[in-house]
Homo-oligomer: A and B are copies of this chain.
Amino acid sequence: MTKPIIWTWDWVPEGPRGFVRDLRLRWACEEAGLDYEVRTIPIADRGAGHLARQPFGQVPFLTDGEISLFESGAGLLHLARRSEALMPRDPAGEADVLQWVFAALNSVEMVSVPWWFLGINGASEADNGLTGWLEQRLTHMERVLSEREWLAAGQFTVADLIMADVLRIKAVRRFGDRPATEAYVARATARPAFARAHADQMAHFAAADAARR
């Protein structure tokens, strides 16, 4: 069994700590009980070497033996195949997970991240041209989450991991009164595997601060 290696920045400022997407892959490895390693690339140098492995100049990417994968969604599906704690093995269960992984990234995050981006660039909620669309998507999620504990296959899966990571952004959680969504995010982030992944990411960047002094 090869050991997955999660690649992330050597350092980031305080703002994004706890939200850098290597957390998604750390969390998945923790849920699955997979032995893994974290390695870094310098955030100050996003040159050709980095672009060859992550064509948009971002993190994370995952290496696993001969396999190399950028895009956190792709890395999660790769890891999910290694453990039923992340995805059931029956075709119907797997399809259920697959559709919700894509829903998190292409139906919810496709609106929430650009909405957040416009916000940090100065748009108020009223001025933000994506507010109505985001409201609509979150309302659909609230309905779904009020009907079930976990999204797919009757168990916690990698679909919940990614959806909870998309929904836990504070800007989105403050956005209206959606108790089922709030409870879902609380339930997912209360898992010991999330707590370990989160604490490890925070410690990783804190150590980088110390090394810079």
Using a CB–CB cutoff of 8 Å, the interface residues on chain A facing chain B are 51, 55-58, 66-74, 77-78, 91-92, 95, 98-99, 101-103, 105-107, 109-111, 113-115, 117-118, 121, 123, 129-130, 133, 137, 140-141, 143-144
Given known A55-B144, A56-B140, A103-B56, contact A98–B121 (CB-CB < 8 A): no
Contacts of A101 in B (CB 8 A): 74
**When the two chains form their complex, are residues B114 and A111 in contact, meaning their CB atoms are under 8 A apart?**
yes
Given known A92-B67, A95-B68, A140-B57, contact A114–B103 (CB-CB < 8 A): no
Contacts of A107 in B (CB 8 A): 56, 58, 71
Contacts of A68 in B (CB 8 A): 95
Contacts of A56 in B (CB 8 A): 103, 107, 137, 140
Question: How far is the CB of A150 from the nearest CB of chain B, in Å?
Answer: 14
**When the two chains form their complex, are residues A133 and B117 in contact, meaning their CB atoms are under 8 A apart?**
yes
A67 to B114, CA, bound (A): 32
Contacts of A121 in B (CB 8 A): 129
**When the two chains form their complex, are residues B95 and A78 in contact, meaning their CB atoms are under 8 A apart?**
yes
Question: How far is the CB of A82 from the nearest CB of chain B, in Å?
Answer: 12
Contacts of A69 in B (CB 8 A): 95, 98-99
**What residue of chain B has the Cβ atom nearest to residue A91's Cβ?**
B67
**When the two chains form their complex, are residues B74 and A92 in contact, meaning their CB atoms are under 8 A apart?**
no
